Amino acid sequence: MKDWRERISIDPNVCHGRPCIKGTRIWVSLILDNLAAGASVEEILKAYPSLTREDIQAALAFAAEMARERYVEIP
């Protein structure tokens, strides 16, 4: 993943400021919850056809960044 910031947005006017895949209202946490529950990438893509594999990779990269416990400014 080059840069998750290209695919994830945080906008207080969209989904109450929750991190979402750009251009959608699909929360990053929804993708991560599905992966944690054992869903495959293919199952997620089938359930959410507007997503791409790169979006799922961006969600994982975002989670890794947040797990490092540091502040990341998002424009």
CATH of the domain at 11: 1.10.10.10
Give percent of the chain with pLDDT exceeding 70. 92
Residue 30 lies in a domain: yes
pLDDT bucket at 71, cuts 50 / 70 / 90: low
- 38: containing domain: 4-67
pLDDT of res. 1: 59
pLDDT exceeds 80 at position 72:
no
What is the C-alpha separation between 69 and 45, in angstroms, rounded? 29
d(CA 30, CA 12): 18
**Whether the predicted pLDDT of 35 surpasses 90:** yes
62, 28 Cβ separation under 8 angstroms: yes
**Domain annotation covers residue 50:** yes
Q: What is the mean pLDDT of residues 45-70?
A: 92
- In terms of Cα–Cα distance, which of 56, 47, 39 is closest to 1? 56
DSSP state of 4: G
Domains: count for the chain: 1
